Amino acid sequence: MKAIQFHEAGGPEVLQYDEVPVPEIGPGEVLVRVQAAGINPPDWYLREGMKVMPAEMRPTLEFPMIPGTDMSGVVQAVAPDVLGFAVGDEVFGMLRFPGFDGRTYAEYVAAPASDLAHKPAGIDHVQAAGAPMAVLTAWQYLVDLGHDVPSPFTGQVHQPVPITPGMTVLVNGAAGGVGHFAVQLAKWKGAHVIAVASGRHEQFLRKLGADEFIDYTRTQAADVVSGVDLVIDTVGGPDSSRFLTVLKRGGTMLPVFFAEYDAEETASLGITVSNIQVRSNGPQLAEIGRLFGEGKLQVGVDSTYPLPEAGNAHKRAAQGHLQGKIVLTVVS
């Protein structure tokens, strides 16, 4: 079969379209013929050699590596101990995350059945492949963590804030992968949603349910918003604390990307800061899949690239300002 591999860490140019063996399945696994694979930030962190992490925390990588965690496809074989999936089923999932062995940039993948759900009939393989990591991140932040593993960033177990009708939720970086799902889930729960993104994304986000839109290239949210119950900041970075002032006392800040907050400052403001490490969860995807099937959630697709052009897809990701997800299409 064909797969994307890299034999050394580096830029998008290290991604190669190689011939590799079809994987064998073990207990608890199914073999999936991949139709599409989603691209996520951990894919390029891995390709770069995990430089995003402090040197002392970086894992030892064994090359060559096939990147990718998200995929949608068709079941080709099922281990004897697997229940609930059969040959011919259309499935989607985020495989073996957190970890580096998803291996979804390929024509076939051996997938843990516990990481999979049946693909909703209402979305196609490209949309399904774009969903898992981003939608599970938003779900585990906002709806149901689904495990009791402490966040590696705080050492604390995250507790989702119950979103009730009448709450105000601000989503920064609202047009991206996690952001556009956070907008929809908060709206589904009855919140008043304020979306922050660049102006070209306004119509996209209003169609997804955003009640208010702030073009950050023209207006700073902190200048026009206050009394917010919950902020979901998918951008992070050194200036993340600028959103603290939009929260009411007792509010919650959920940074999705790396961000540091001063404990004394947040305590003085009465603000709780919490984050997670998203984890694979097939049953949660099945629950989310029902929302896709009912048309209550949509997947934004920024762009698609054929599998051999994975390097160009990573270059597009590096440009930022995505509207939804980038997806690789796989022909096998």
Query: Residue 10: which pLDDT band, with cuts at 50, 70 and 90?
Result: very high
Query: Would you list the domain boundaries of the chain?
Result: 2-132+280-329, 150-273
Q: Which residue has the tokens 């430089």?
A: 51
Indicate whether 55 pLDDT > 90.
Answer: no
Query: Residue 259: which pLDDT band, with cuts at 50, 70 and 90?
Result: confident
Segment holding 19, helix H or strand E: strand 16-19
DSSP category for residue 227: -
> Up-side HSE of residue 205: CA atoms within 13 Å toward CB?
32
Indicate whether 238 pLDDT > 80.
Answer: no
Indicate whether 332 pLDDT > 60.
Answer: no
Indicate whether 31 pLDDT > 60.
Answer: yes
Q: How far apart are CA 137 and CA 140, in angstroms?
A: 5
Residue 313's Cβ-count burial label (10 Å; 0-12, 13-18, 19+) is buried
Determine the pLDDT at residue 148: 95
- For 119, residues 6+ apart whose C-beta sits below 8 A from its C-beta are 72, 90, 91, 92, 125, 128, 289
Taking residues 207-236, report their average pLDDT. 96
Indicate whether 96 pLDDT > 80.
Answer: yes
Q: How far apart are CA 14 and CA 314, in angstroms?
A: 11
Q: Are 108 and 277 in contact (CB under 8 A)?
A: no
Span of 54-68, 201-215, 269-283 with lowest mean pLDDT: 54-68
CATH number of 150-273: 3.40.50.720
Yes or no: is domain 2-132+280-329 CATH 3.90.180.10?
Answer: yes
DSSP category for residue 66: -
